[in-house]
Amino acid sequence: PWFICAYGRCCCRDPAHDAELGDQGPSPPGRPRMRPLQGEEEQVRRVVSLHLLQESECDMCLQRPRYVKEALHSRLISSETPRYVRQLEERVKSLSAVAESVKVQSVDDNASVTATIPEISEGFSPDCGLQRRPSRSTAAGSPSGARSRNAAGQEVSGVNRHTRNVEFYGSSSSVALLSHVQRTGDEPVLSPDLDSDAGTLLSSLHNPAFSSPSADQIQAPAAATEPRSAVRPVTHFPQCRHFLQSFFSSIHFVHPILDKKIFFDRCEELWSKPDVAREPSSFVALYYSILSLGALIGVREDEPIDGIENLQWSRKFFDEAKRRCDQLGMVTDLEMVQCYFFLAKVCQNELNAHWAYMYVGLAVRTALAMGINREPGPDVKKEPAELRAESRTWWGLYSLETEMSFSMGRPDTLGADLYHNRLFPVIGEADTEYSGSLELVDPPSCAIIKSMVDYSKIIRSICLGIYLPETTVPRTVHLAHQIDQDLQKWAESLPEAIRPTASVEPRSLKSVKEAQWMKRQRLVLTMRFLNIRILLFGSIILTSTSAERASIPGSQEGIHLCLESAKQTIEIIYQTYQHHDFFRTWFYNTTYTVFAASMILVYVTQEATEPEVQPLLKLVGMAIEILETMDECVVALRSAKLLHKAIQKAEKKFSASTPADLQIPAMPPADAMLQLNHYWGPLNILDNEMDFGFAMQFADFEGTNSLFMALDDPRSMQ
């Protein structure tokens, strides 16, 4: 008896049979007796493994007599082998086709059963929900309730003609949403060249005021470019320290990864010793990235510094930070990670999501290269302040990477959570900025870091549970309610001082005296809590009709939660804009506002009764006021115009039609998923199209801007 060894490389005698032979010893030279093969596929495997016979043999094979191997070799290379192999291959293909047809039938049978929805256990791993995508034939035979994910219908990929960069945006991105809006109308907009359409869209969304040089400029003679080693004399702009204060009084409370005292001590050294500070340093690059972000989101002063507007300062500092990074090259230290982190935040606020994704990716790779995602061993000799900073930076980066990647429909680069065993920041009771003690304790304002990591894991469950797998509407409703329970638990686990609320109004006069970081964090967490609810339940109204929802338990409750969250979003932003200057310069509020207003308009066209219409349209009018208040933001003004047209359209249809005639049909599932866009963090509905200081670009709104000419197409507004 002979068999293929455990390595699948050669044939060996069965040791168990040797015992049965006793003293008979091995068979004489000649043709060895072979154990009957167990299947044709096994024969194919044996023959294919032949070429490894003389190169790699297991220990058992090496103990066999040489004549055994020679006999086996002569049998396998006989003249009959090639023909026999071809016959076996044809037979295997035939059997595989039959097996595949059985699997397809099984998939169809399973898809038709929607009454029973399996529960998700506590140990549920998102990876286990990732199933093999069915073939076209399978998808075509799926029941109407299945949510097909047609990649061509919900993803955008093309070449940005300004930068010649290839850019991809997945189903949860705002670019994909705009691609859908551009195609929406009474008549389908078809193009034989989808890549060209995508390139046109991406080029239309390009912001020349905040971008890299064009491809033609990049190809300029090398003599015209600045040497990497050159260092221009600069003063580091101490007159702009106000921008640093703007950062530390706002965005810093959302991402408290820096030690304010240590940072300002380094800044004082920079300002007092410019000659020393002129040397290449990752801290200098970080310094300019913070200046850029602070100038961008800071409250506008009546007297611009040196007569230069905030946006011009911000872009000047951003370019300087980029230049410093290029000068340093591949540096892996904590300040470089933080620099990339805040450059990504600048890009988010400038609404260049493509760059933001690239910079946060650089931050993640640099952090992983440093190993700050791992808990340091007992022999590591580092100062407590450095260890605290590493923990804050890593986990702040973890949540930002997850949220940003999902917002663009792209995968994150974090890898499995098993890689990341770094302990979370230890939160103390002292309500002061980072102390100089030797203990590994951070102030209470840093508790938001772990809260945002938990929040990002809920985002991941939405992506892997609702967005990626192909599922039915009933199961989507079930999963959405399950995830909403996790969201409720997350909110309840937050410290009371920063727990999301239903109103921006103070709970009592005592709350007026709360620390600034509490107010900022509570506001941000409230907005994110409401938006994730819109994201969870908005798909129900977009992918089903009223008749279908009537037979799906939990769907009406989900629609109600979605609508209430949209209403609260607009009301809270409106109230905050009335009383707080700082919030008016956080232009990513355009995302929250347009997203909430859009869901209200969808509800009006599908579900609203006549008494509901005017109060809901009044809320959309409030959203338009919010957008018009951000008059520096071209995108906000454009969005306000689109919403105004949508209100006119809804009023016209509702006054001229009965509710039954008014109801629009459910969208195709793949296209409907495009509506479920949300930028987690400072991004907005038009992604990278923002140019605050160029009035001519806005004046061109009615002219040559191909994207908005398409959006203003009468077919889509009637």
Judged by DSSP in three states, 403 sits in: helix
Within 13 Å of residue 677, how many CA atoms lie on the same side as its CB?
33
Largest CA distance in the chain: 105
> How many domains are there within the chain?
3
Same domain, 622 and 666: yes
Give me the pLDDT at residue 136, please. 34
On whether the CB atoms of residues 559 and 598 are closer than 8 A, the answer is no
Q: Which amino acid is at 673?
A: M
pLDDT at 215 > cutoff 60: no
Pick from 56, 83, 110: which residue ends a domain? Answer: 83
Q: Which two tokens stand for residue 548?
A: 């279908």
Same domain, 439 and 524: no
The angle that helices 334-349 and 282-297 make with each other, rounded to 10 degrees, is: 20
The angle that helices 384-407 and 334-349 make with each other, rounded to 10 degrees, is: 30
DSSP per residue, 83-96 = HHHHHHHHHHHHHH
Residue 181 lies in a domain: no
Give the torsion sign (CA, 636, 637, 640, 641). negative
What confidence category does residue 544 fall into, taking pLDDT thresholds of 50, 70 and 90?
confident
pLDDT at 593 > cutoff 70: yes
Q: Which amino acid is at 429?
A: E
Cα–Cα dist 579/576, whole Å:
5
Q: Which of 95, 110, 103 is nearest to 137 (CA)?
A: 103
Q: Residue 298 is part of which domain span?
A: 236-394+413-445
On whether the CB atoms of residues 49 and 57 are closer than 8 A, the answer is no
Residue 678 CB contacts under 8 Å (≥ 6 apart), including other chains? 172, 407, 531, 532, 534, 535, 591, 595
Residue 152 lies in a domain: no
Same domain, 440 and 588: no
Residue 363 lies in a domain: yes
Q: Which two tokens stand for residue 116?
A: 């029973």
Same domain, 495 and 424: no
Same domain, 681 and 555: yes
Q: What is the pLDDT of residues 484-493, one digit of tens each?
A: 999 999 999 9
Cα–Cα dist 183/643, whole Å:
17
Give me the pLDDT at residue 715, please. 38
CA angle at 270 for the pair 267 and 274, rounded to the nearest 5°: 160
Give me the pLDDT at residue 454, please. 96
Q: What is the pLDDT of residues 694-710, one digit of tens each?
A: 222 222 323 333 333 33
What confidence category does residue 301 fall into, taking pLDDT thresholds of 50, 70 and 90?
confident
Residue 195 lies in a domain: no
Residue 576 CB contacts under 8 Å (≥ 6 apart), including other chains? 504, 523, 583
Give me the pLDDT at residue 450, please. 96
SS3 labels along 303-363: CCHHHCCHHHHHHHHHHHHHHHHHHHCCCCCHHHHHHHHHHHHHHHHCCCHHHHHHHHHHH
DSSP per residue, 605-616 = HHT--HHHHHHH
Same domain, 530 and 660: yes
pLDDT at 633 > cutoff 80: no
Q: Which two tokens stand for residue 375?
A: 């808990």
Instruction: Indicate the DSSP class of residue 160.
Output: E
Pick from 30, 52, 83: which residue ends a domain? Answer: 83
On whether the CB atoms of residues 177 and 672 are closer than 8 A, the answer is no
Give me the pLDDT at residue 482, please. 95
Among 358-362, 658-662, 671-675, top mean pLDDT goes to 358-362
Give me the pLDDT at residue 238, please. 81
On whether the CB atoms of residues 588 and 684 are closer than 8 A, the answer is yes
Q: What is the pLDDT of residues 607-618, one digit of tens each?
A: 888 888 889 999
Q: If phi over 0 gives left and psi between -120 and 50 gives alpha, with beta otherwise, what is residue 658?
A: beta
Q: Which amino acid is at 169?
A: Y
Same domain, 711 and 582: yes
Q: If phi over 0 gives left and psi between -120 and 50 gives alpha, with beta otherwise, what is residue 163?
A: alpha
Same domain, 254 and 351: yes
Give me the pLDDT at residue 564, please. 95
Tell me the pLDDT of the chain averaged across its residues.
Answer: 71
Give me the pLDDT at residue 169, please. 58
Give me the pLDDT at residue 360, please. 97
Pick from 83, 114, 134: which residue ends a domain? Answer: 83
Question: pLDDT > 90: what percent of the chain?
Answer: 30
Same domain, 491 and 441: no
Cα–Cα dist 12/60, whole Å:
7
Cα–Cα dist 382/169, whole Å:
41
> Tokens 């347009």 label which residue?
594
pLDDT at 570 > cutoff 90: yes
Give me the pLDDT at residue 167, please. 60
Beta strands in 139-181 (DSSP E): 156-160, 165-169
CA angle at 200 for the pair 196 and 201, rounded to the nearest 5°: 120
Give me the pLDDT at residue 714, please. 37
On whether the CB atoms of residues 280 and 230 are closer than 8 A, the answer is no
What confidence category does residue 528 fall into, taking pLDDT thresholds of 50, 70 and 90?
very high
Same domain, 13 and 55: yes
Give me the pLDDT at residue 208, please. 54
Same domain, 674 and 527: yes
Q: What is the pLDDT of residues 350-406, one digit of tens each?
A: 878 889 999 999 999 999 998 999 998 888 788 999 999 999 999 999 999 999 898
Same domain, 485 and 441: no
> Tokens 């040089």 label which residue?
213
Of 256-260, 479-483, 505-509, the one with minimum mean pLDDT is 505-509
Give me the pLDDT at residue 444, please. 93
Residue 183 lies in a domain: no
Cα–Cα dist 19/184, whole Å:
77
Residue 218 lies in a domain: no
On whether the CB atoms of residues 16 and 69 are closer than 8 A, the answer is no
Judged by DSSP in three states, 629 sits in: helix
Element (H, E) at 187: none
Instruction: Indicate the DSSP class of residue 220.
Output: S
Cα–Cα dist 654/614, whole Å:
10
Q: What is the pLDDT of residues 169-189, one digit of tens each?
A: 555 555 665 565 555 544 444
Residue 98 lies in a domain: no
Give me the pLDDT at residue 431, please. 61
On whether the CB atoms of residues 199 and 159 are closer than 8 A, the answer is yes
What confidence category does residue 59 fall into, taking pLDDT thresholds of 50, 70 and 90?
very low
pLDDT at 563 > cutoff 90: yes
- How far, in whole angstroms, is CA 534 from its chain's centroid? 17
Residue 710 lies in a domain: yes
Give me the pLDDT at residue 434, please. 52
Phi, psi angle pair for 608, to nearest 5°? -65, 140
Q: Bigger pLDDT: 326 or 27? A: 326
